């Protein structure tokens, strides 16, 4: 992959340039000084150095392509099969492997150079040990430089990948802090300088090394060591600077509200620990602010609902208050109506009692009417009997009419009187018939009619006696009165028929009066029930009036409570509006933060 090749080439370039520009020339220069002016041995040394360069380079290339490149390819791969935490832990531990390879390469290269140099003739002890000592002096600083360079390049690779924000648990890796790094760098540099200068001073004082210009050589050696130290410090400081800038940028973005920003965790030092804790803080802040935002959004929504409901409650409570006032007014009106009904019920009950008394009187009158009707019936029967007797007398009169022909005129007059009486009887009978039809309500009128009929019957009897006396007087003077007597007989037949009808009518009146009495009894029974119901209505109306008074008192209490609720709901609406405004302000403040 392109990114993997980029960083592996960068690692090879920076580390190999460092090795072959500083440590290798330094060791070569040191060995050349230690050998002295023997050019044959120097040629063999340079040939050995040239041969010794090849195997370490091959080992370095091979190891990085076989071990380091697959890690970089996994780092920049698009698949999701990688365990990001394990991959990052492996990459962060890789510099430790790199310094082991550096040690192997130096030992191998130094061993090859030393083996070649051993073919030189007449080697002294100083010349035999000078190459191993030179390699030994530069190994610590080379290992430190390789570690810092490799760590810097791995940090750059991680920082450009998608795994830069992934952190390891604090305590799950060993931290190489700044003080340890400083100690390692200083001790490595001091060890290298002290070793080289001690070796040169020792053998120069013994006379084994003859240096025409020792100061110049020391300057060159110091210069090489300073370059080596500078490169080591540069590799560390550049990495530190990039991490400090990353920390600065992250904190700057967080100060602008971008809580979602995370610090790249790329090294196992204080910056790595800071990255872990700041990322943890960012995550917790992000979670807390997200929860707060959700809470404020929910609070805003609930405050809007509360405001809406409180406003609705206020309106409905005011409407309810108006309805309760209407109910109260209606109850007042109903109470007045109930009082009026109660008073009317009492008056109705009293009037019903009076009507009961009147009904008793009516019943008594009906009873008297029945008695009178019975008497009238008896009188009618007697009248009918007398009519029959008169009819018999008329027949006898007809038989004796031959003897009273002389009195025909008077008999005719008397008969005319009888006819007049018969007409009056007919008229009275007609009136009796009409009154009998109305007997249901005016039964007493029939008594009057019956009395008149009785009088007419008596008068008819008297006239009949007078006719009888006159007939005795006129005797034989009324011969032609026979004809009129026959007519009188016919009239008596009609009277008898009418009297029979009258008797029947009186019987019907009697029957109707009996029915009327029965109906009156039923009416009285029903009236007693109605009277009791009227009394019950009066009592119930009184109780309803008391209940309505209690209900009116309860409605008045509800009205007072409703007024209190209206005031409370109005206050609640005001508080809801303030709560909504506060929630909107908090939401606006929270919206300053951006979080993942």
Whether 242 has a pLDDT exceeding 70, the answer reads: no
pLDDT at 226: 78
User: What is the pLDDT averaged over residues 255-260?
Assistant: 64
CA-CA-CA-CA torsion sign (218, 219, 220, 221)? positive
Computed over every residue of the chain, the mean pLDDT equals 73
Whether 536 has a pLDDT exceeding 80, the answer reads: no
| pLDDT confidence bin for 22, thresholds 50/70/90 | confident
From the number of C-beta atoms within 10 Å of its C-beta (0-12, 13-18, 19+), residue 268 rates as buried
- State the Cα–Cα distance between residues 429 and 431, nearest whole angstrom: 5
Whether 352 has a pLDDT exceeding 90, the answer reads: no
φ and ψ at 77, to 5 degrees? Answer: -75, 155
| pLDDT confidence bin for 470, thresholds 50/70/90 | low
User: What is the pLDDT averaged over residues 242-268?
Assistant: 62
> How many H helices and E strands in the chain?
12, 0
Among 320, 328, 308, 325, which Cα is nearest to 565's?
A: 320
| pLDDT confidence bin for 51, thresholds 50/70/90 | very high
pLDDT at 107: 93
User: What is the pLDDT averaged over residues 563-579?
Assistant: 73
| pLDDT confidence bin for 325, thresholds 50/70/90 | confident
Interior CA angle at 82 toward 81 and 86, to 5°? 150
Residue 129 in tokens: 């040990």
Among 12-16, 53-57, 61-65, name the one with the lowest average pLDDT. 12-16
CA-CA-CA-CA torsion sign (363, 364, 370, 376)? negative
76-103: pLDDT as tens digits: 887 666 687 888 888 888 888 988 998 9
Is-contact 157 267, C-beta < 8 A? Answer: no
């Amino acid at each position: 992959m392109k990114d993997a090749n980029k960083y592996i080439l960068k690692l090879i370039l920076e580390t190999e340039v460092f090795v072959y520009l500083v440590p290798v020339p330094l060791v070569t220069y040191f060995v050349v000084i230690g050998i002295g002016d023997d050019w044959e041995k120097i040629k063999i040394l340079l040939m050995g150095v040239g041969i010794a360069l090849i195997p370490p380079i091959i080992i370095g290339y091979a190891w990085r392509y076989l071990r380091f490149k697959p890690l970089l390819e996994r780092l920049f791969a698009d698949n999701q099969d990688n365990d990001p935490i394990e991959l990052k832990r492996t990459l962060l531990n890789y510099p430790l492997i790199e310094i082991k390879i550096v040690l192997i390469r130096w030992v191998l290269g130094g061993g090859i150079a030393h083996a070649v140099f051993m073919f030189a003739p007449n080697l002294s002890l100083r010349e035999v040990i000078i190459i191993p000592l030179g390699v030994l002096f530069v190994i610590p600083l080379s290992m430190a430089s390789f570690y810092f360079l490799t760590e810097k390049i791995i940090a750059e690779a991680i920082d450009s990948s998608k795994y830069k924000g992934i952190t390891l648990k604090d305590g799950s890796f060993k931290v190489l802090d700044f003080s340890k790094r400083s100690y390692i760098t200083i001790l490595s540099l001091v060890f290298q300088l002290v070793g080289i200068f001690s070796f040169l001073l020792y053998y120069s004082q013994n006379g084994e090394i003859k240096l025409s210009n020792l100061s110049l050589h020391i300057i060159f050696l110091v210069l090489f060591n300073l370059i080596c130290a500078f490169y080591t410090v540069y590799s560390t400081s550049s990495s530190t600077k990039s991490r400090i800038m990353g920390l600065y940028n992250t904190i700057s973005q967080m100060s602008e509200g971008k809580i979602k920003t995370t610090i790249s965790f790329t090294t196992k030092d204080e910056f790595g620990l800071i990255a872990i804790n700041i990322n943890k803080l960012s995550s917790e802040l992000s979670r807390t602010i997200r929860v707060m935002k959700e809470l404020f959004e929910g609070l805003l929504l609930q405050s809007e609902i509360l405001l809406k409901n409180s406003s609705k409650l206020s309106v409905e409570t005011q409407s309810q208050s108006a309805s309760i006032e209407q109910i109260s007014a209606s109850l007042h009106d109903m109470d007045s109506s109930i009082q009026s009904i109660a008073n009317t019920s009492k008056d109705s009950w009293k009037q019903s009692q009076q009507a009961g008394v009147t009904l008793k009187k009516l019943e008594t009158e009906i009873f008297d009417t029945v008695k009178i009707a019975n008497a009238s019936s008896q009188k009618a029967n007697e009248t009918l009997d007398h009519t029959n007797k008169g009819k018999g007398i008329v027949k006898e009169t007809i038989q004796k009419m031959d003897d009273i022909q002389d009195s025909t005129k008077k008999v005719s007059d008397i008969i005319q009187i009888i006819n007049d009486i018969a007409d009056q009887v007919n008229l009275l009978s007609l009136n009796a018939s009409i009154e009998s039809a109305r007997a249901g309500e005016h039964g007493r009128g029939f008594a009057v009619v019956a009395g008149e009929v009785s009088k007419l019957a008596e008068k008819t009897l008297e006239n009949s006696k007078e006719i009888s006396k006159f007939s005795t007087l006129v005797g034989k003077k009324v011969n032609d009165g026979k004809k009129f007597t026959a007519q009188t007989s016919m009239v008596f037949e009609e009277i008898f028929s009418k009297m029979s009808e009258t008797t029947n009518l009186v019987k019907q009146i009697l029957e109707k009066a009996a029915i009327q009495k029965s109906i009156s009894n039923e009416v009285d029974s029903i009236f007693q029930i109605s009277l009791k119901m009227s009394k019950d209505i009066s009592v119930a109306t009184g109780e309803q009036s008391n209940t309505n008074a209690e209900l009116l008192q309860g409605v008045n209490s509800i009205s007072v409570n409703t007024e209190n609720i209206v005031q409370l709901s109005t206050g609640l609406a005001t508080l809801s509006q303030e709560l909504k405004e506060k929630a909107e302000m908090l939401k606006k403040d929270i919206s300053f933060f951006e979080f993942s």
